[in-house]
Amino acid sequence: MWALKYQHYTRKDWAKIAWSDESAIQKYSDTCTVWVWRHQNKAEKYASKNVVGKQRNDRLSQMIWGCFVGNKLGPIVFMDGTVKKEEYIGILEQNLLQFIDALRADGLRDIVFQQDNARPHAANMTRDWLRDAGREHGFIVMDWPPNSPDMNPIENLWAHLKLELHRQYPDTKYLSGSPAVIKGILKRRLLEVWWTIGEDVLNGLVESMPRRVRALLKAKGWYTDY
């Protein structure tokens, strides 16, 4: 069991994990949005003040890949279309390896790369590439249990990114124009917000890992508050 294996990890150990994931950022990805549920009588349901029109770009989103280690942010990568194993390996080759090399140059050793079990991640081609890259660049790959997003602190980092996007750019949800125009604006804003994320945020996520593991053990592998 994953939690049993890592139950004795210290903060120093967790600070060597390269957490990674993908996320879809919509222009409506505002974590502060408050939903109000109304009675479904005709007077309220169809009142003009309560009807929100569906625009062509309402569900437009930008996929990103990112990672972090300890209190160091890695790059974020913007992805368009379906990411297959070949594209995913390309992302790792062009971004992850350079990040890990920089960390090793700063003296960090025993780095462990984490990824979930999405199909491009678990493909034999990807696993073979990671094995060879790990030998050359000095890292290993963590065995990740299925259906465990609440153990990956980068999920909380995505929430922080979305919150800050709409705090720093409150007009994001109202962006209009072609999909290309909206995505271009989202990319510029996300890149700027990403690099303003402070070490205190990352330190807090790393420090949460022992609590997450204890919570998972207490829940016997079931859902936790994370």
Residue 48 lies in a domain: no
3-class DSSP string for the chain:
CHHHHHCCCCHHHHCCEEEEEEEEEECCCCCCCCCCCCCCCHHHHCCHHHCCCCCCCCCCEEEEEEEEECCEEEEEEEECCCCCHHHHHHHHHHHHHHHHHHHHHCCCCCEEECCCCCHHHHCHHHHHHHHHHHHHHCEEECCCCCCCHHHCCHHHHHHHHHHHHHHHCCCHHHCCCCHHHHHHHHHHHHHHHHCCCCHHHHHHHHHCHHHHHHHHHHCCCCCCCC
Determine if residue 118 is left, alpha or beta; phi over 0 gives left, psi from -120 to 50 gives alpha, anything else beta: beta
Q: Supply the pLDDT for residue 54.
A: 45
Q: How many domains does the chain have?
A: 1
CATH code where residue 187 lies: 3.30.420.10
Tokens coding 25: 């950022």
pLDDT surpasses 50 at 66:
yes
- 113, 18 contact by CB (below 8 A): yes
Q: How confident is the model at residue 40 (pLDDT cuts 50, 70, 90)?
A: low
Tokens coding 13: 């150990």
pLDDT surpasses 80 at 134:
yes
* Rounded Cα gap, residues 146 and 206, in angstroms: 21
pLDDT surpasses 70 at 56:
no
Residue 16 lies in a domain: yes
Which amino acid belongs to residue 79? M
Determine if residue 31 is left, alpha or beta; phi over 0 gives left, psi from -120 to 50 gives alpha, anything else beta: alpha
Which range of residues forms the domain containing residue 94? 2-30+53-218
Residue 46 lies in a domain: no
Pairing of strands 72-79, 61-69: antiparallel
Q: Supply the pLDDT for residue 60.
A: 81
Q: Which residues lie closer than 8 Å to 134 by C-beta, 6 or more apart?
A: 113, 140, 141
The whole-model pTM stands at 0.85
Residue 41 lies in a domain: no
Q: What is the mean pLDDT of the chain?
A: 88
CA angle 133, 139, 144 (to 5 degrees): 100
Residue 43 lies in a domain: no
Residue 225 lies in a domain: no
Residue 223 lies in a domain: no
- Of 5-9, 13-17, 171-175, 222-226, highest mean pLDDT: 13-17
Residue 159 lies in a domain: yes
pLDDT surpasses 70 at 53:
no
